[in-house]
Amino acid sequence: YGGTGPKGWDCSGLTMKAWKAARVELRHSAGKQYRLGKKISKSRLRNGDLVFFYPGIRHVALYAGHGKVIHAPHPGKKVTYIKMKYMPYMGARRPG
């Protein structure tokens, strides 16, 4: 937890770094990132949108198209692509 890469990432560290490449600053917390940007419906997701999971907003990932996200799952696991349906969807935001 708390990883901001490149040797280790946590979920919000990964999204923070990805959006920094687009010159958008994000806070290092899924809950704080959930309060930023524009709320986006699931049907209007675009690549790079922040997608949030689990009640209490405990996880964030980057939308990667076709119902998939890229995310840092948990300590000891590599960043990976998975189907969004594998985690309980709580909402999405578009920073910037």
Query: How many CA atoms lie less than 13 Å away from 8 in the CB half-sphere?
Result: 7
Residue-wise pLDDT for 37-96, tens only, equals 999 999 999 999 999 999 999 999 999 999 999 999 877 788 899 999 999 999 999 998
Instruction: Specify the pTM.
Output: 0.90
Q: Which of 28, 59, 66, 74 is catalytic?
A: 59
pLDDT of residue 48: 97
In the annotation, is 66 catalytic? Answer: no
Q: Are strands 59-65 and 50-53 parallel, antiparallel or unpaired?
A: antiparallel
The whole-angstrom separation of Cα 53 and Cα 87 is 6
In the annotation, is 11 catalytic? Answer: yes
**Both structure tokens of 87:** 């985690």
Q: Where does the pLDDT of residue 24 fall: very low under 50, low under 70, confident under 90, or very high at 90 and above?
A: very high
